Amino acid sequence: MYSGQCLCGEVKIEISGGITDIIHCHCSLCRKSSGTAYATNGFVSGAEFSVIQGEELLKAFSLKQGRLRHFCSNCGSPVYSSSAADPGRIRIRLGILDSEITERPISHNFVSSKASWDNLDAELPRYDSHEPGRT
């Protein structure tokens, strides 16, 4: 079981299952939405994800049709993303979690878009797009 909360603590989440496909995404969209060099994202089953407090504070932003970025309207923390093309899974930003996780990142993605000042972790493979096998 994993738990987490937004920056102000008003939105709380729980994940009853595992986290898969964890990546460090360097695309310009993730950099802009996180305000950092990259965002660390992972996927969870929608059936194993719950907003246990503050659901009424969640707002959504759509940059691409069929994809929503859900965030706390109070503090602006990204909470999760959903996609009409993959309704059974949601993407979370691992920074929202308070629990220690056992899963680890598998790669750096969109490295051709990385911030010029970012020095990548040399141990992970690098791809100009999604890691191989991502649908």
- Per-residue pLDDT in tens (0 to 9) along the chain, 135 residues: 999 999 999 999 999 999 999 999 999 988 998 889 999 999 999 999 999 999 999 999 998 899 999 999 999 999 999 999 999 999 999 999 999 999 999 999 999 999 988 887 667 788 888 888 876
- What is the CATH classification number for the domain harbouring 48? 2.170.150.70
In this prediction the pTM is 0.83
Output the pLDDT for position 135: 67
Domain holding 30, by residue range, is 2-113
CB–CB of 68/61 below 8 Å? yes
Give how many domains the chain has, as a whole number.
1
Residue 9 CA to its chain's centroid (Å)? 18
CB atoms within 10 A of CB 37: 16
Residue 9 located in a structural domain: yes
